Structure 1
Amino acid sequence: MADMDEIQEMFFDECDELLEGLATGLRQMDEPGHDKETVHAVFRAVHSIKGGAAAFGLSDLVTFAHRFETVLDLLRSDKLEAAAGVMPIMHRSSDCLADLVAAARQSSEPDHDRRETLLAELDQIIAANGDGEDDLVFTPLAIDIGPVDPGGHLAEPDAGTASGTGFRIHFMPDADLYRSGNDPAALLHALAKLGEIEVMLDAEMVAPLEDWSEDQPQLKWDVLLQTDEAREEVEAIFEFVEDCCDLRIVALGGGQEPPPSGPEPDPLPPAIEDSSPAEASPVPEPAPPPRPRAAPPAESGQPGATIRVSLDRVDRLMNMIGELVIKEAMLSQVIQTAGMSEDPDVVAGLDSIRQLAGDIQESVMAIRAQPLKLVFQRMHRIVREAADATGKQVRLVTIGEQTEVDKTMVERLIDPLTHMIRNSVDHGLEDAETRRERGKPEEGTITLSAAHRSGRVQIEVSDDGGGINRPKVREIAEEKGLVAPGVALSPGEIDQLLFMPGFSSKEEVSALSGRGVGLDVVRREIMDLGGRVMIHSVEAEGTTFSIALPLTLAVLEGMLIQLCGQTMVLPINSVQETMRANPSILHGVGQGGRLLSNRGDLLPIIDLGCVFGLRDEAAPLEEGVLVVVETDSQKRAALLIDGIFDQRQVVIKSLEENYGQVPGVSAATILGDGKIALIVDPEAIVMSSSNDYARPAMALAANG
C-alpha cells in the first residue's frame, strides 16, 4: 500500500509539470501564428493526465480529460481553429482540470457544477464540428494490408518498397496499456497520418475465448509504414505507452536508423524479420525500461537529468551549512584569542575554510532556488477570474519569470500576489467606458515583473488604470477612524493608509473585495518573508506595487557593529557609506534633532542606542561612527553607532519563532563566541523616525 501511495504521489507531481506545460501552451496558442508543435504538446499533456488518472481509477478526472482531449484533437487535426470563442473555453477547461487534479490529490469533492458546465460547452464544440468519437460504436475496420504470407504476417515488400523510406513496426500492448485508458486503434490511426500504412493483426496470437484473460492480452500488430517523416515522429506516437508494450521500430532502406548504442538487443521476432539486403544492416532499438512519464517541454533543447529530493532533506542540509558558518566564525574567534591571527599558514587555512564554506553555501542555495515562473503562471488564472467577476477586459503581461528566489518563498508569495492582482483589476483598472473617455484601449493591462536588484528580489505589479484617488482614500480613512480629521498627510502617507487593517474602498461586498481584508494581509505576509512593499501611483496613469525580498531566508552578509557594549548586525545591502562626524556637515534642528548634509540631501541622524533603549541621552557625534543607509522605499538616514569591527556572513535565526517580535529588529544570529546578536532592520527604524525629522528638515532646507 505504501508503494502504491508513493507511485500515486509521483503521478500527482508529474501532473503539476504537465499542467504547467498545458497552461504555457494554451497561452502560446492565444498568439497568432503559433507553432503546430505547441498544439501537439498541449494535447499530449492532457492525454498523459488522462492515462495516469485511469490507472488510479479517478473517473471524474478521466471523463473530463477525455472530453477536453477530444476538442484538442480537433484543434491539432485542423478541424477547429483556435479562435477567440474557443480559447477562453480551453483556458477554463485547463483551470478545471487543475482543480480536479487537486481534488483527487486531497481526496476532496470537486466543483461538480462547474465541471458539468464546461463538459456541456466542450460537447457543443464537438457536436458543432461533427466529431463522433464519443459514440462508441464498434464496427469492423477494413484496411488494405496487401499480400499476406502463409504464416499470416505481412509479405516482404518488393525491391522498390524496400529501398524507399519508411519503417517496419512490431507493436504488442500489455495489460497496463489498456488500464491506462489508451487505445491501440488510436495509435494505428495516428501512424496512418504519417504516410501509407499496411497493418496486419497476428491471428495466431489470439487465444480462444474460453482462455481469454484481461491480465494477459495477446493482440499483436505488424505494421509497414511508408513515409518521409523522421524516426522521431514515429516514436512520438508511442511516447506515452512505450513502457507498457513490446515495441520494435526498424527503418526501411537503412537511411533512418540511428547507430546502435549500448548492448545489442535481441533480434526481432520472425513476424517482422527481413532477409533482404536493404533491411539487414539496421539494428532494432531496444524497448526502454519502464519509468515515470512526463510531458515533453514545449521549448526545444534537451533538459539535463533531474532528481526529486524532499525539501526537508535540503532544509537539513541548509541548516548544517549554517552551523558550518557558525563554527568557522568560532574557529576564527579562537585563533584571534590565541594570538595566532598573524601566522600566515593559519590565516591561509582559515581563508580556505571560509571560501569552501561559502562555495558550499552558494551551491545549496542554488538547489533551493526556484524560478518564479510557476507563481506567475498561476496569476493568469487569477486575472481571468477577476476579469469575469468585474466584467472588465484585462490582459496580464509577465516579465522575468525565470528570476529565482528561495524555495520557501515561492508558495508564500502566491497569496500576497493574488491580493495585489485582484486589487489591480477591481480598484486600479477603470471600466471600458471610462477608459474610452480617457483615450485608453478598452482592454486594461497588468504587468507582473521580477528582477534581481542590489542583492534583493524586486517584484512589481503595475496597472495602467486611473491611479489612487487620494482624496477619497483619506475620506474613507477618516470615516473609519483610521486617521484623525485635519491631520496633514503627504501623498505617500495617504497611500500607506491602504495597508491599514480594515481599510476598504468598496461599499458593497463582492467576490473580490469589500470585506476590509486585503492589502494589510499583503504587507504582513511580505514582512514575514523579510521583505517590504511600497506603492507608487500617478493619477490617471496607473499604480505600481513593489515588493523587495531577500534572496534567501537563511544567510545574509552583515556588518558587525558595536552599540553600548552590545554587538549587533547591520545588513550590508542597506549600507551606502560610513564616515566620522564632521561639524561642517552637521546641522541642529528642533529640540535636539540632528541632520547630516550628504551629497546634497539632509539626512536625519538616528542614534541606535536611543532607539533600542540602551542609553537615555543621545551620544556625542564625535565619539561615534555614522552609517548612511538606504531603505527599499528609497529613504536615506544616518545611523549613529559606537564602532565597526567586522564584516561577515551570518546565519539568520527567526526571532519571532524563538522569542517574539521586537521593533527595529528583523532577526537574530549566533556569533563566533556563541553569543546571540540581533540583526537590525533599517527599514523599520528609518520609517518610524522619518516623521520626527521630515518637517523640520524641509523648513531648514527652505531657509538655506
Structure 2
Amino acid sequence: MPAPHDPMAEIKASFFHECEELLDVLQDGLMAMQNGEEDSETINVIFRAVHSIKGGAGAFGLDGLVRFSHRFETVLDALRAGTLAPSADVLRTLLSATDHLADIVELSRDDAPLPETDTLAICDAIDQLIGDPAPKTTHQSDIDFEPEKITLNLDPSDPPKDQAHVPDTTSKIRHFRITFQPFAELFETGNEPAVLLRHLHALGHASTSCDLSDLPPFEKLVPDIPHLRWDITLETQADLAEVQSVFEFVEGLCHLNIELESVSSADPTPAHQSEPPQYRNDTAAPSRPTTGRQVKPGRPTPPVQKPVVRVELDRVERLVNLVGELVINQAMLSQSLDQSGLSPHSDAMHGVEEFQRLTRDIQDSVMMIRAQPVKALFQRMSRIVREASGALGKDVRLRMLGECCEVDKTVIERLADPLTHLIRNAIDHGLEDPATRCAAGKPAQGTITLSAAHRSGRVHIEVGDDGAGIDRPRVRQRAIEKQVIAADAVLSDSDIDALLFLPGFSTAPAVSDLSGRGVGMDVVRTEIQALGGRVSIQSAPGRGTTFSISLPLTLAVLDGMVISVADETLVLPISLVIETLTLTAPDVSLLRPGCHVVRARDGFFPLIDLGHHLGYRPLIETFEGGIVLLVALADGTSAALLIDDIVDQRQVVIKGLDDRFFRAPGIAAATILGDGHIALILDPSDFVSGAFDTPRVPHTAPAPQGEPA
C-alpha cells in the first residue's frame, strides 16, 4: 500500500525551502555591510531573516534552531539599536554565525543531532560582542520569589533606535486604539510582547496599560498559559499599514484589534475617506499587509517579488526529455517532407516551418525553467574563503561579479567541487601572507575575484587572485623531480601551467588539510571536461593568477552544423564556425612534413583533416577543392577543419556518453538525427590543442564565437 499522505511533512519541507531563501538574504545583507552599506534598512533585512527562521522553527518544535536563532537575533537587535558598531570583527563573527545557522538548518531538516560544542562556541563569541552573556540556569529552590510590579519604560523622550520608520511628511496625526493579547503559541515561537510594544512606541506617542484581570492567584498560576492583555493608545503620523507591520511576525499567534479613532490635520480629512477604520486579527492569520516603510534616499526601490511555484526536479527533467523527443520528431518530420519532393511553398511545408518555430520556443521556455542564477553557488564559496583563510591565517576578501548570470541547474550542481578546489588553491598557493604582501607594496588583505558572464552562447566563470602568480621555475623543478618531464625539456609558459592539472602533482612542501596531495586541480580538469568545458590559466609574476572556465549554458540542446566526413555524419557546434571555404592550390602551404596551414583573413590557420584525426581514413595528399570550416575557440586558438560536405544546419538534442564509453579525443557527445541515425558531436578543442605551434586568429578576424558543447 502507498504511504499515507502527510500534509505536515509538505509544510515542513516548504519551511526549509524558505529557510534557504532567508539564509541567502542574510548572507547578502552581511556581505553588503562588509562593503560599507551599513544603513538601517540593510540591518533590518538581516534581522527579519533570522527572526523569520526562528518563528518557523518554533512552529515545528525545532528547539535547537530556535535557541540559536534567538541568540543570533539578540546581537542583531543590538546592531539595530546602535549599541553595537558593525566593525570588521563583528561582521566576521556574524558571518561565522550565519554559516553555523545554515548547518543547524540542514541538520534539523535531516533530523540529525546538532553540534552542541560548536553551537556553544559561536554563542560565546556572540555574547562577547554584546557584553551580555546568556544567563546561567539556576535551580528553582535557590530563588526567593516575591511578586513585584514592573513598568515598561515607554518614555517618548527616549525612543528605541531599532526602528527604521521615518514618519511621512504630511501633518496628519492618527489616533489608534490597540488591543493585544498573546496566545501561548506566540511565546513558543520565541516572540516577546515587550519587543513588540517598544517597536510600536517608536512610531509615535503611546500610552500603554496592562490588564491583569485574568491573572489567577499565584498558587493556581500555570506558566504555559498567558493571562495578560495590553491596551494601547497610539498617536502617530504612521498609517494603518505601518502599525500593522509591527505585528507582522505574530499574525495568528495573538488576539489583535487595531481601531483608527480619529485623524487630525491642518486640512481635516474624514477617517473613512482616507483609510480603513480598523484592523482585527483573532486566530486566523490574514495576508501580510504592505508596510509603509520608507526607503533610504538614494537606494533603489526593491523589485516586486514575483509569485514562485516550487516543482520537483524530476518533473522538470521529464519535461526536458519530452521536449528533446519533440525536437527529434520535428526533425524527422521535416526530413521526411523534404525527401517527398513537396514544393517549398506548399501548405504542408509552411506548417512544418511553423511547427519548427513553436518547437524552438517551447525548448527555450523549458530551458529557462532549468536555468538558475549562479548566486547561490557563489555564496557557498564565500564560506570556503572564510574557512580556508582562517585556517591559513590570511586576510582574504571575496569579490563576486555577475551573480545573476543564469546557467543550467545541472551545470551549477557539478561546478561546486571545481570552484571549491580553485578557491582553496588561490588562498593556499596564490595569495601571500600579510607580511609578504606589505613588503611587496600590496595591501595586507588579499582579494579573490569570482565572476560569471555569458559570452557567445556559453558561460564563462573566472577565479582570479592578486597574489604572487605561478612560480613556473618551481613548477618545472617539481615536474622534473616527479619524472613527469625530462630535465632538458623545452616548455612554454602554457605548457608549464598545464602541469598543474596532472594527477598527483603538487608544489606544496608538505601535505596539509588544504593541499599537498595533488588531487584538487585534477578534479577541476576532470569535472570541467565532463561538462563539455575547458579550463585555462593566465598568470603574471607578482600580479596574480586567473583560472578561466568556459561551459555550455545547457547540457540539453545546441545549434549544430551537420557535416559529412568519410561517409560518416558528424555535428559541429555552429557557434564555433566563423567561415566556410573551398580550397584552391594557393590557399594551402606546407609548413613542414605533415603540417599544412591555410591562408585566410590575412592570417594562417593550421589545417586539420578530420577524417584522418578520427581514424576514418589515411591522410589525403591533395587538398585542392576540399571544403574547410574556419573555427575559433574562446581562448583565441583557431584552425581550419577539412570535411567532405556540409549537410544541414539544425538544432540537435545532446545525448551524453556514459562511463561505459571511452572518451575519444575530439568527441563531446552524441545526438539522434531526423532520419533516426546516431551522429557524434565534435569537440575540436582537442584537435586544435594538438596542432604544433597553432597560429592565432589575426586581429582583423572577428571575435571567437565560443567553444563546443
TM over 0.5: yes
Is this contact kept in 2: 1:25–1:41, CA < 8 A?
A: yes
Match of 2:688 among 671, 686, 689: 686
Matches within 5 A, 1:519-668: 519-618=521-620, 620-656=622-658, 659-668=661-670
Comparing 305-314 with 548-557, which one deviates more in the overlay? 305-314
Report the AA paired with residue 114 of structure 1: D
Q: Give the 3 Å change call, closer, same or farther, for CA 556–619 of structure 1 in structure 2.
A: farther
- Return the alpha-carbon distance in structure 2 between the equivalents of residues 163 and 464 of structure 1: 56
- Return the alpha-carbon distance in structure 2 between the equivalents of residues 83 and 395 of structure 1: 15
Matches within 5 A, 1:491-502: 491-502=493-504
Matches within 5 A, 1:332-343: 332-343=334-345
Report the AA paired with residue 561 of structure 2: M
The equivalent of 1:284 in structure 2 is 278
The equivalent of 1:153 in structure 2 is none
Match of 2:242 among 233, 257, 281: 233
Is this contact kept in 2: 1:462–1:544, CA < 8 A?
A: yes
- Aligned-residue offset at 1:252: 4.3
The equivalent of 2:701 in structure 1 is none
The equivalent of 1:182 in structure 2 is 191
Give the TM-score, by structure 1 length.
Answer: 0.86
- Aligned-residue offset at 1:324: 1.0
The equivalent of 1:73 in structure 2 is 77
Comparing 57-66 with 542-551, which one deviates more in the overlay? 57-66
The equivalent of 2:28 in structure 1 is 24
- Aligned-residue offset at 1:631: 2.1
Cα-to-partner distance string for 1:438-458 (whole Å, 9 max, x where unaligned)? 221121111111111111111
- Return the alpha-carbon distance in structure 2 between the equivalents of residues 255 and 167 of structure 1: 12
The equivalent of 2:165 in structure 1 is none
Is this contact kept in 1: 2:210–2:230, CA < 8 A?
A: yes
Please give the secondary structure, in 2, of the residue aligned with 1:26: helix
The equivalent of 1:483 in structure 2 is 485
- Return the alpha-carbon distance in structure 1 between the equivalents of residues 173 and 618 of structure 2: 95
Is this contact kept in 2: 1:70–1:133, CA < 8 A?
A: no
- Return the alpha-carbon distance in structure 2 between the equivalents of residues 113 and 178 of structure 1: 26
Matches within 5 A, 1:70-149: 70-127=74-131, 140-142=149-151
Q: Give the 3 Å change call, closer, same or farther, for CA 657–222 of structure 1 in structure 2.
A: farther
Q: Give the 3 Å change call, closer, same or farther, for CA 669–209 of structure 1 in structure 2.
A: farther
Please give the secondary structure, in 2, of the residue aligned with 1:86: helix
- Return the alpha-carbon distance in structure 1 between the equivalents of residues 223 and 574 of structure 2: 68
- Aligned-residue offset at 1:650: 0.5
Q: Give the 3 Å change call, closer, same or farther, for CA 112–329 of structure 1 in structure 2.
A: same
1:415 and 2:424 correspond: no
Please give the secondary structure, in 1, of the residue aligned with 2:676: coil
Q: Give the 3 Å change call, closer, same or farther, for CA 594–278 of structure 1 in structure 2.
A: closer
- Aligned-residue offset at 1:414: 1.6
Matches within 5 A, 1:207-218: none
- Aligned-residue offset at 1:349: 1.1
Report the AA paired with residue 690 of structure 1: A
- Return the alpha-carbon distance in structure 1 between the equivalents of residues 11 and 508 of structure 2: 48
Q: Which blocks of at least 5 consecutive residues in structure 2 are unaligned?
A: 156-170, 698-709
The equivalent of 1:195 in structure 2 is 204
Please give the secondary structure, in 1, of the residue aligned with 2:89: coil
Give the TM-score, by structure 2 length.
Answer: 0.86
Q: Give the 3 Å change call, closer, same or farther, for CA 528–91 of structure 1 in structure 2.
A: same
Q: Give the 3 Å change call, closer, same or farther, for CA 473–194 of structure 1 in structure 2.
A: same
1:306 and 2:308 correspond: yes
Is this contact kept in 1: 2:688–2:694, CA < 8 A?
A: no
Please give the secondary structure, in 1, of the residue aligned with 2:232: strand
Cα-to-partner distance string for 1:83-109 (whole Å, 9 max, x where unaligned)? 223221111111111111122223334
- Return the alpha-carbon distance in structure 2 between the equivalents of residues 599 and 295 of structure 1: 61
Is this contact kept in 1: 2:638–2:694, CA < 8 A?
A: no
The equivalent of 1:387 in structure 2 is 389
The equivalent of 1:269 in structure 2 is none
- Return the alpha-carbon distance in structure 1 between the equivalents of residues 105 and 203 of structure 2: 33
Report the AA paired with residue 677 of structure 2: K
- Return the alpha-carbon distance in structure 1 between the equivalents of residues 358 and 61 of structure 2: 51
- Aligned-residue offset at 1:228: 2.4
Is this contact kept in 1: 2:154–2:198, CA < 8 A?
A: no
Q: Give the 3 Å change call, closer, same or farther, for CA 34–601 of structure 1 in structure 2.
A: same
Report the AA paired with residue 8 of structure 2: M
Is this contact kept in 2: 1:45–1:295, CA < 8 A?
A: no
Match of 1:511 among 492, 510, 513: 513
Comparing 410-419 with 517-526, which one deviates more in the overlay? 410-419
- Aligned-residue offset at 1:632: 3.0
Match of 2:16 among 8, 12, 17: 12
- Return the alpha-carbon distance in structure 2 between the equivalents of residues 139 and 516 of structure 1: 68
- Return the alpha-carbon distance in structure 2 between the equivalents of residues 680 and 233 of structure 1: 61
Please give the secondary structure, in 2, of the residue aligned with 1:622: coil
- Return the alpha-carbon distance in structure 2 between the equivalents of residues 290 and 282 of structure 1: 18
Cα-to-partner distance string for 1:449-476 (whole Å, 9 max, x where unaligned)? 1111111111111111111111110111
Please give the secondary structure, in 2, of the residue aligned with 1:380: helix
The equivalent of 1:57 in structure 2 is 61
- Return the alpha-carbon distance in structure 1 between the equivalents of residues 97 and 263 of structure 2: 44
Comparing 388-397 with 207-216, which one deviates more in the overlay? 207-216
Q: Give the 3 Å change call, closer, same or farther, for CA 438–606 of structure 1 in structure 2.
A: same
Is this contact kept in 1: 2:559–2:649, CA < 8 A?
A: yes
- Return the alpha-carbon distance in structure 2 between the equivalents of residues 503 and 686 of structure 1: 25
Matches within 5 A, 1:343-362: 343-362=345-364
Comparing 173-182 with 390-399, which one deviates more in the overlay? 173-182
Is this contact kept in 2: 1:394–1:445, CA < 8 A?
A: yes
Is this contact kept in 1: 2:66–2:189, CA < 8 A?
A: no
Q: Give the 3 Å change call, closer, same or farther, for CA 140–609 of structure 1 in structure 2.
A: farther
Match of 1:325 among 316, 324, 327: 327
Comparing 23-32 with 284-293, which one deviates more in the overlay? 284-293
Is this contact kept in 2: 1:55–1:181, CA < 8 A?
A: no
The sequence identity of aligned pairs, in percent, is 47
Is this contact kept in 2: 1:163–1:253, CA < 8 A?
A: no
- Return the alpha-carbon distance in structure 1 between the equivalents of residues 198 and 635 of structure 2: 62
Cα-to-partner distance string for 1:129-182 (whole Å, 9 max, x where unaligned)? x99899999954336999xxxxxxxxxxxxxxx983243333344443333222
Is this contact kept in 1: 2:316–2:370, CA < 8 A?
A: yes
The equivalent of 1:267 in structure 2 is none
The equivalent of 1:454 in structure 2 is 456
Is this contact kept in 1: 2:251–2:286, CA < 8 A?
A: no
The structure with more helix, counted as a fraction of residues: 1
